[in-house]
Every structure is written in C-alpha cells, then in structure tokens.
Amino acid sequence: MKVAITGATGFVGSHLSTRLTSEGHEVVHTARRGLGDVDELTAALAGCKAVAHCAGINREIGDQTYARVHIEGTRNVIAAAKNAGVEKIVLMSFLRARSNCGSPYHESNWDAEEIVRNSGLD
C-alpha cells in the first residue's frame, strides 16, 4: 500500500516510515513546512491509500505556530487527501488534547482532531 507520512523526519514519523517500509509498503515523505500548499500536498498524496499525519510542534518558533501547523496544516492535509482520493487518515495528536483549557498547544491539537473527525475520511 502507498502511504504518505507528514512529519516523516520527526521522531514518530521516522519510526513509522521505517516500520512501513520494512513491511513492504511504499512510503511518501512530506515535511512540516510543506503543509501550507494544498496543491503541492495533493501532488504528493497522489496514489496514496492512507495518510499518517504526524507533523506537529511542541513549541512555537517564528511562523511555525500551533495554529499554523496543527490547525491550518491539518485543514490542508484533509483538503489534499480529498483531492487525491485518499481513503484513510490517521492523526498523531496529544493525549491530553482538549478545548477551552487555556493552553494553545492542547487546544490546537483538539482543533486538529475535530478537523479530522469531521472530515468525512475514514
């Protein structure tokens, strides 16, 4: 199966890539910085059956904000996945993600979960 991994160079994404490759899957790597361009993502996801969305940050630096990476990035991945005909998406979130808690990190992960839950994708 052809699987795309966002955040493929990160801790979880790199280990997932190694595992999927060792099991004979074709893996497409995308980087966190590439989450801003839906057309570019759509091209990268072409032919993929699934996306493992592992791109995320644990601190904000410059334009790499929680809103931009977790929320906008997830919206863009969902749009690109739909454009490319991807059937499944798996999101790597945070165990204590929740809304209205006063933590932009937790809230942005919750928002990303909600985007995926409401996406219509499996």
Q: What confidence score (pLDDT) does residue 17 get?
A: 97
Q: At 100, which CATH number? A: 3.40.50.720
Residue 31 placed within a domain: yes
pLDDT averages per 10-residue partition of the chain, 122 residues: 96 97 97 86 97 96 95 98 98 94 96 98 97
| Helix locations, the chain, DSSP H | 11-22, 38-45, 66, 73-84, 104-117
Helices first, then strands: H and E counts in the chain: 5, 4
pLDDT score of 31? 77
Find the Cα–Cα–Cα–Cα dihedral 115, 72, 41, 25, rounded to 10°: -50
For residue 92, being part of any structural domain is answered with: yes
Report whether 79 contacts 119 (CB < 8 A).
no
Which among 50, 45, 103 has a CA at the least distance from the CA of 76? Answer: 45
Q: Is residue 7 part of a domain?
A: yes
Torsion of CA 102, 104, 105, 111, to 10 degrees: 100
Q: What is the pLDDT of residue 81?
A: 98
Q: Is residue 34 situated within a structural domain? A: yes
In a domain, 122, yes or no: no
Domain hosting 13: range is 2-117
Tell me, yes or no, whether 35 lies in a domain.
Answer: yes
Query: Does residue 21 fall inside a structural domain?
Result: yes
Three-state DSSP state, 5: strand
Structural domain count, the chain: 1
Q: Give domain status of residue 100, yes or no.
A: yes
pLDDT of residue 61: 95
Cα–Cα distance between 59 and 40 in angstroms, integer?
25
Residues 93, 57 contacting (CB under 8 angstroms): no
Phi then psi dihedrals of residue 58, to 5 deg: -110, 0
